[in-house]
Amino acid sequence: MTYLNHITEAIGNTPLVKLNNVTDGVKATILAKVEYMNPGNSVKDRMAIRMIEDAEKAGILKPGGTIIEGTSGNTGMGLALAAIAKGYKCIFTLADKQSKEKMDILRAVGAEVRVCPTNVAPDHPDSYYSVAKRLNEEIPNSFYPNQYDNLSNWRAHYESTGPEIWEQSAGKITHFVTGVGTGGTVTGISRYLKERKPELITVGIDTYGSVFKKYKETGIFDENEIYSYATEGIGEDILPKNVDFDVIDTFLKVTDKDGAVMTRRLAKEEGLFVGWSSGTAVYGALEYARENNLTEQDVMVVLLPDHGTRYLGKIYNDEWMRAQGYID
């Protein structure tokens, strides 16, 4: 018989899928790394299980413990699946801008969800960062993975996602594009790929209201760059330790609207029912390809982080999209 011992063994080996219909004016081959094929429907499954297993090896996470994390939803899902397989409890803090679907999904897999205000500074006591840290201090036998600064995050992608992309593209990849949030995905994959092909170009996709692009270009952490934005899962108002700016060649910013509209196009024109940051990454990738006149010899891989079921009440809801001014 062929079967898995628990659902976390299904993580990884997601496909590369060629984009055919949203690539007007682009000569390069554009391949999507479809990470919603992971069992938790997102790229975060990879680093979630790695953070848990590394904590177990280090003796930080003990039997019967509680995992406490600040998340935009997807890391929480990955952690929850690992917790079910290994017998842990979970408490997750989320900013109130995150979709209701994400909160409902986390509750469905047995997690306790604490909703925190979005429009507060990271060090504010009510921010989802601060609440997670405080709960970790208050609850005995608890573990705070801290995906932003936990280096198991990028190592998971160095050891799994990067090698998969290299093998699936037969080493022909010339450009790698991904949204940047905690930084683990972009850093781990880029380090692996650049070790094998130093001339490879990594394009980090940022959002307006985030600090990454200006920091990369100037070395200045500009608080004036920080303001509220709607796109979920990418951009930051902090500099996570997992972001290695040296392996990111350039950043490109994409508006909330452009990312949302492209997300809808990917579903309708490519059959890829993906999440908001996936559309953002593809929009930025195609813009970069056009502006830099990529040729038929170029192979660009764009990482699509999660699934559209996380956003049914937002970008897949016509009334919500009209209210935001994203569609007529």
Q: Are residues 58 and 121 in the same domain?
A: yes
Q: Are residues 293 and 201 in the same domain?
A: yes
Predicted pLDDT of residue 328: 87
Predicted pLDDT of residue 8: 95
Q: Is residue 148 part of a domain?
A: no
Q: Is residue 213 part of a domain?
A: yes
**Mapping DSSP to helix (H, G, I), strand (E, B) and coil, where does residue 229 land?**
coil
Residue closest to 218 by CA, chosen among 185, 251, 182: 251
Q: Which of 143, 167, 184 is the last residue of a domain?
A: 143
How far is Cα 180 from Cα 242, in angstroms, rounded to an integer? Answer: 10
Q: Are residues 247 and 309 in the same domain?
A: yes
Q: Are residues 219 and 297 in the same domain?
A: yes
**Mapping DSSP to helix (H, G, I), strand (E, B) and coil, where does residue 42 land?**
strand
Which strands make up the sheet holding 201-207, listed edge to edge?
A: 16-18, 29-34, 299-304, 175-179, 201-207, 250-254
Q: Is residue 203 part of a domain?
A: yes
Q: Are residues 64 and 11 in the same domain?
A: no
Residue closest to 304 by CA, chosen among 13, 16, 97, 12: 16
- Give the number of domains in the chain: 2
Q: Are residues 31 and 176 in the same domain?
A: yes
How far is Cα 99 from Cα 320, in angstroms, rounded to an integer? Answer: 12
Q: Are residues 80 and 204 in the same domain?
A: no
Q: Are residues 132 and 205 in the same domain?
A: no
Q: Are residues 187 and 80 in the same domain?
A: no
CA angle 321, 327, 328 (to 5 degrees): 120
Q: Is residue 59 part of a domain?
A: yes
Q: Is residue 298 part of a domain?
A: yes
For residue 234, the enclosing domain spans: 7-37+157-324
* Cα separation values, 102 from 83, 93, 233, 327, Å: 17, 12, 11, 23
Catalytic residue (choose from 44, 194, 216, 314): 44
Q: Which of 84, 118, 143 is the last residue of a domain?
A: 143
44 an active-site residue?
A: yes
Q: Which of 143, 171, 200 is the last residue of a domain?
A: 143
CA angle 274, 194, 75 (to 5 degrees): 35
Q: Which residues in the chain come in under a pLDDT of 70?
A: none
Q: Is residue 150 part of a domain?
A: no
What is the phi-psi region of residue 25: left when phi exceeds 0, alpha when psi lies from -120 to 50, beta otherwise? left
Q: Is the pTM of this model over 0.75?
A: yes
Predicted pLDDT of residue 72: 87
Contact indicator for 172, 299 with CB cutoff of 8 Å: yes
Q: What percent of the chain has pLDDT over 70?
A: 100
Q: Are residues 248 and 309 in the same domain?
A: yes
Q: Is residue 1 part of a domain?
A: no
CA angle 164, 177, 8 (to 5 degrees): 40
* Cα separation values, 58 from 53, 66, 69, 83, Å: 9, 16, 18, 17
Q: CB neighbours of 243 closer than 8 A, spacing ≥ 6? A: 180, 182, 183, 186, 187, 212
Q: Is residue 151 part of a domain?
A: no
Q: Are residues 32 and 167 in the same domain?
A: yes
How far is Cα 16 from Cα 98, in angstroms, rounded to an integer? Answer: 28
- Which CATH number covers residue 79? 3.40.50.1100
Helices 44-57 & 74-86 angle (0-180, nearest 10): 50
Q: Are residues 288 and 181 in the same domain?
A: yes
